[in-house]
Structure 1
Amino acid sequence: MPEPHAGAGSVRIRVQAFAVNPTDTGVRAGQRDSSQASPPYVPGMDAAGVIDEVGPDVTGWQVGDEVMAMALPLTAHGGAYVQELVAPVGSFTRIPRGTSLPLASTVPMNGLTALQILSHASLAPGQTLAVTGAAGLLGNYVVQLAKAAGLTVIADAAPADEALVRSLGPDHVVPRGDGFAAAVRELVPDGADALADAAVQRSSVVDAVRDGGVFFDVRGWQGDEARGIEFVQVMVFSEYRSFDKLEQLRHAVESGTLTPRVAEVLPAARAEEAHERLEAGGMRGRFVLTW
């Protein structure tokens, strides 16, 4: 690849760590729209590193700043699996104080997804949010940020994950799987006000939502129009330059509200292994690749 350089309104980040997310395996497998891209197709939506070039009109940032950034694969901007990432102002912020670059690389994309869910849900303190896939990193972030917002959180967990999920602070933990909706209804007979379906269980858990509630899907499901439920397709790409939200995430990590979680740090040359192990399932936290 030709060496990229920071232009107007952007910086160049010398990437030192990048997280491996399920969306990356989808890009690699050809499951994402690549009509606006040309080979080589570079996956990756999360990076952390050190600024080594600053665009001529950019202020407030300097060479040597340690930052975490969101990237956009299959677009002109390009994915995060690179040694040098050109990032427009707004798509990155400083890493949380006291946090390593590998840990910081797990924050932007999943954190922005969680904030997008909570922003759209517009729930008042005390209202109920149910979360599937609470043991996964997106589920972790949704649970922790929802609790910080004063919501009543019902999270799922398999027996092996119960201690982890409880450590996130949900109000209730129910078994993961086919009985999830019934278990939620035992706690809130009318159903949860909203459900964040991070486990992509869809029709098998939709009964957990009350009539007129909100169902958040992270893989584009349009729902079944049942019982006046609003089905929302969460699209984090629209958060590419959500600097204020990145700052919110940075402060949440610094305050201990949000806990980044790394499953294992691997050299970039083992990206294939990281994808295979992620697709096999069962990992808690993110694989992070480093140059």
Structure 2
Amino acid sequence: MRAAVVTEFGGPEAVRVVDAAAPEPGARQVRIKVVAAALNPVDAGVRAGVFGGAGARIGLGWDVAGTVDAVGVASAWNVGDEVVALVYGTAKPLGTHAEYVVVDADAVAKAPGSVDAVHAATLPLNALTAAQALDLLGLRPGQSLLVTGAAGAVGGYAVQLAAHQGFAVTGLARAGDEELVRSLGASDFVTDGVAGGFDAVLDTAVLGEPALAWVRDEGAYAGVIPQAQPASVRGVRTAAVEVGADGARLAELAQLLDEGVLSTRVAEVFALDDVVKAHARLAEGGVRGRLVLVP
């Protein structure tokens, strides 16, 4: 099978499509024939060497939408099931940017029925990150939340989920994104924060200490870069999400997508063989929605 990997770090040109043996599922695993897989900023970080691993072949891709084509023992999934999944890891030998990927069975969820695989592939990493980050904040309905980077992929899901959970959501983004952010469910929109103005901040834009200043005393802050949250001040709880594969939670998010609570955004679709072009487009910035690869 073909798979996108890096063997040395660098820019988009460091990504190579290689021939690799199709992986075989072990116990409590399934193999998915990939129909679509999103390209995320974490893939660019892996490619650039942000997470280390020099000298090894590292597979790219965390999100997958596709069809189960082989199952290991003790798996509740069946060949032919249409599924989505998160394949966690910054140093895995093969990722989802491939023709086939093996996934732990408990990381898999039934694919949403309301969208095609290209759109479904944008759900796992970004929506799970948003949902698990909101969990860290521990907000109650009616409390105020500022989402930075509200027009981005994680931020957009965070706005939708937070509004659905009954929080008073303010989205922070560039002025030109106000209509989009409000359409996602934000009741207010700002292009800059307000000192001490919110019960909590979900900092998907990775602003750090400036965003911490916008939390009220003894409020809460959550970041999206593991272990990179700013130090606590004024009694503010600070944490950062490290997304975890969770098939049951992913199934809930897929159901919310089918119910219209969540919406997906695809910016552009690339063939797997054009993965270098996709990385180059991501590096240009200004992408609204996710780039998606199809084998």
Instruction: State the TM-score, normalizing by the size of structure 2.
Output: 0.89
Q: Deviations over 1:67-121 (max 9, x none)?
A: 1110123355742112111111111111111210010100011111111111121
- Please list, as runs of the form range in 1=range in 2, the aligned pairs for 1:56-135 lying within 5 A after superposition: 56-59=73-76, 61-75=77-91, 78-135=94-151
Deviation at 1:191, TM superposition (A): 2.3
- Alignment gaps of 5+ in structure 1: none
- Cross-structure match for 1:218: 224
Partner Cα separation in structure 1 for residue 61 and residue 272 of structure 2: 12
- Cross-structure match for 2:4: none
Match of 2:164 among 144, 148, 154: 148
- Cross-structure match for 2:199: 193
Partner Cα separation in structure 2 for residue 11 and residue 233 of structure 1: 30
- Cross-structure match for 2:64: 47
Question: Could you say what secondary structure the match of 1:181 adopts?
Answer: coil
- Please list, as runs of the form range in 1=range in 2, the aligned pairs for 1:257-268 lying within 5 A after superposition: 257-268=261-272
Query: Which one is further off, 213-222 or 99-108?
Result: 213-222
Alignment partner of 1:17 is 2:36: yes
Matched to 1:259, the amino acid is S
Question: Could you say what secondary structure the match of 1:227 adopts?
Answer: coil
- Cross-structure match for 1:206: 212
Matched to 2:185, the amino acid is G
**Mapped contact 1:49–1:66 kept (Cα < 8 A):** yes
Partner Cα separation in structure 1 for residue 217 and residue 150 of structure 2: 23
- Alignment gaps of 5+ in structure 2: 1-19
- Cross-structure match for 1:253: 257
Percent identity between the two aligned chains:
39
Matched to 1:163, the amino acid is E
Partner Cα separation in structure 1 for residue 283 and residue 64 of structure 2: 20
Partner Cα separation in structure 1 for residue 134 and residue 88 of structure 2: 22
Deviation at 1:272, TM superposition (A): 1.4
Match of 2:51 among 28, 32, 36: 32
Partner Cα separation in structure 2 for residue 198 and residue 275 of structure 1: 21
Q: Deviations over 1:224-244 (max 9, x none)?
A: 3321212212111xx22x122
Question: Could you say what secondary structure the match of 2:206 adopts?
Answer: coil
- Cross-structure match for 1:181: 193
- Cross-structure match for 1:2: 21
Instruction: State the TM-score, normalizing by the size of structure 1.
Output: 0.90
Deviation at 1:32, TM superposition (A): 1.1
User: CA distance change for structure 1 residues 88 and 233 in 2, over 3 Å: closer, same or farther?
Assistant: same
- Cross-structure match for 1:288: 292
Deviation at 1:34, TM superposition (A): 3.0
Question: Could you say what secondary structure the match of 1:195 adopts?
Answer: strand
Q: How many residues align?
A: 275
